[in-house]
Chain A
Amino acid sequence: MRILGLRHVATLCIVAASVATPTMAETINVSATTPDANEKLQEALILAKPGDVVQLGAGVWNLADGLSLDVPNVTIRGAGAGEGGSILDFSAQQGAGEGLLVTSDDVFLTDFAVLNTKGDGIKSKGADRIVYHKLRVEWTAGPKQTNGAYGIYPVESRDVLIDSVFVRGASDAGIYVGQSRNIVVRESIAQENVAGIEIENSYDADVHDNVATKNTGGILVFDLPSLPMQGGHNVRVFENVVKDNSTPNFAPKGNIVASVPTGTGVLIMANRNVEIFDNIFDQNGTANVMIVGYRYEHKDPQYQPLPKAIVVRDNQHGKAGYAPGFPGGDRMAAAMGGSIPPILWDGSGDAIVTDKVGVLSLNLPDVRTPQTEAKPAPADLSKGTPPAPLPTIKLPAAMEAKVK
């Protein structure tokens, strides 16, 4: 009886809500061949009302200026991300730091491509519950230092879903989630970027069922000092294919990813509670999994530079460690019969590795010790009690409904 009563109340609330909400959502069609298409599209993004769909016509849009959206609950939908779809081409871009900037909540981006931006591809900042879906962000000439930094770039957001995207050629990270929480990156392909997928200074992320291939490093989980949000933790990287990440590092020097050795599968730096499991690794010349501390000078007393409570289990390891891309790596490989073990640890912090493959420790527990003092030796990290498994990331149902 009581339950029935509650249900009744709930039903009433839903009815009331649907009556109160004006159902005037519109689809605003914008054509790629409109004169002043850049301006018209930007106007449409400004005049859109919450609930509206901005529908991008098929064809190539030659855009000179970055676009931006600041209206909540708007969908930008194209006619496809591949040939014949809606292609936002920024090859002749003259201004703005990215191709598309989203600064409002509950935005859904789907079925279009963003090409050759001078800076980042698509950035969303402070945009909660954003959904990136069936998008292509690409620098079509392939890896070049002059390509933009990030392909898909949500930052300072809560609830982020990146689903079925393709990113190629980013001179930093293809998919980069920064200073955010409650994140899912899935069923996407990151190819020929410096970093394929990067979760940085973020909490609670599931990165699964992706393919990271031909990047410099496949999947990175980082935490950096002197940023408003830090102490990255609770990240699960599982059921991904991380293969042949062999592209020479083409990041501009000075950026943290410029230090990623070519041939890195998954790299964890200065995070806690990271789980790497059920992934398929193959042909990562430096290592399939690398676990390190932040070994640069910094002036942030709050910062925690060590990797802690890292779990590596149940992964499938193909060939690895045959071309270690860090100073002295070639000598180590030669000394160990041609390749180093698939899992590399700098010796700082703590990790549990139960994969049935070798672990090489550089035995540098203090992050202030220079790497030149490395004393590489095999390590057994299979002992100890792993921390309780992390829960699955749950996103609001309305977000999942958008990609159904």
Chain B
Amino acid sequence: MKRLFVALIAVLLGVGGGVAVVPAGVDQAVVESDAMPPKLSAFGLFRGNDPKMPSTGIGYTLRAPLFSDYTDKNRFISIPAGKKAKVGADGVIDFPVGTVLVKSFGWSDVNGGHPVETRLLIRRTAGWVALPYIWDADGKDATLALGGRRVPVSFKSPDGTAHTIRYAVPNKNQCKECHSLGGEIVPIGPKARNLILDPAASDRMRSLYFDTPAALKPVMPQWDDPKSGSVAARARAYLDVNCAHCHNPAGSASNSGLFLRWTDDPAGVNYGIDKRPTAAGRGSGGMDFAIAPGDPDRSFLIYRLESTDPGIAMPEVGRSTVHREGAALLRQWIAEMPKASH
């Protein structure tokens, strides 16, 4: 009944046209229901439905973000009043029911920097739910795109290269392909080792949302800042965030036997060192090993990262361009490894 009511309201708002009437603040009833509102405004996550103006919550960035076609991501966490996220001893953050992780994706040189899409990861009683919303042409609201969509865009990456791509907004299932652990949806980035809360947020604000904000120690280096860690450490941070969400024993790529978590043994065969292809198909590029120490050109991990062919490219979803800077870091890491004995 409540779901019907919410849908009805959304329809009425849509019919009304003009500026959507936005509820004041986050509508926890919608957040915590099992609804999939057709319009993003139903959640009340933004003031005046302006994606740059979260109506609540705390902003964050990541030491190593997941590469998504050079998009700038605006992230914040909305946690219901009176509840707090708990930071576990293992660095995994337990967010309370009613939490929303909000991520808006865009490029500074596309549509005046207005986001193309906003993805929500919502903690409901039954678990996390991922919902993708695409901003309408007039920029006033965003519409649910359960089935995903290709959006043509042209932008320049930081090195000045011009890209024209059909950017893929993931469908709901693809959200889960990455955000999956043992078949359940989980957040990827916001772990203690990777999370940087908005430096402008006061201590009071931090302790409003986290039971022990001091436990949020981002031990992973900043992948693109040489001062923050060695090449190997930064490469491992990059792999952790860009690959390990699937490449772990309970992830979507569990059958590959290639496990790239920050906590995995970086010298082991299961980290790719001298590991032969399993089900790589064309992804092996005619090479024998995922990582051939000292030889990035014979490491098909690099080959797959540098491809955009769907039969070859890794990750399988989430990018239509090559992350040259990330690939360069991994190339350097592999090149600096001592060559194997064989």
Contact = CB atoms under 8 A, between A and B. Distances in A.
Interface of A: 38-43, 45-47, 64-66, 68-70, 93-97, 101, 103, 117-120, 125-126, 145-146, 148-150, 153, 155-156, 171-172, 176, 178-179, 224, 226-229, 252-256, 296-300
A54 to B, nearest CB: 13
A45 B173 CA distance: 9
A254 B317 contact: no
Contact of B269 (A40, A93, A96, A300): A300
B320 A94 contact: yes
Contacts, number: 150
Contacts of A229: 255
A149 B287 contact: no
A43 B317 contact: no
A200 B279 CA distance: 10
A94 B287 contact: no
Interface stretch (B143-151, B219-227, B330-338): B143-151
25 contacts: A39-B148, A46-B147, A65-B150, A70-B176, A95-B320, A97-B316, A103-B183, A119-B281, A146-B282, A148-B281, A149-B281, A179-B255, A224-B276, A226-B275, A226-B276, A228-B254, A252-B281, A252-B284, A252-B286, A254-B276, A254-B277, A254-B287, A255-B284, A256-B277, A298-B269
B165 to A, nearest CB: 9
A46 B309 contact: no
Given A65-B148, A155-B255, A118 B311 contact: yes
B150 A228 contact: no
A95 B317 contact: yes
B279 A149 contact: yes
Nearest to B173: A68
B300 interface: yes
B interface residue count range (under 10 / 10 to 19 / 20 to 34 / 35 or more)? 35 or more
Contacts of A148: 281-282, 311
A119 B176 contact: no
B279 A64 contact: no
Chain B: interface secondary structure?
A: loop
B173 A69 contact: yes
Contacts of B117: none
For the complex of A and B, the 5 pairs showing the least CB-CB separation, nearest first, are A149-B281, A42-B147, A118-B311, A43-B147, A97-B316
Interface of B: 145-150, 166, 168, 171-174, 176-177, 183, 249, 252, 254-255, 257, 269-270, 274-289, 300, 309-312, 316-317, 320, 342
B75 to A, nearest CB: 24
B38 to A, nearest CB: 12
Given A68-B171, A95-B168, A120-B281, A40 B147 contact: yes
Choose among B171, B254, B309, B316 the residue with the greatest number of A CB atoms under 10 Å from its CB. B171
A119 B283 CA distance: 9
A38 B320 CA distance: 18
Contacts of B254: 156, 228
Nearest to B314: A97
Choose among A171, A228, A255 the residue with the greatest number of B CB atoms under 10 Å from its CB. A255
A103 B145 CA distance: 20
B150 A64 contact: yes
Given A95-B310, A118-B311, A156-B255, A254 B286 contact: yes
A46 B172 contact: yes
A299 B269 contact: yes
A179 B255 CA distance: 7
Contacts of A146: 282, 311
Contacts of A156: 254-255
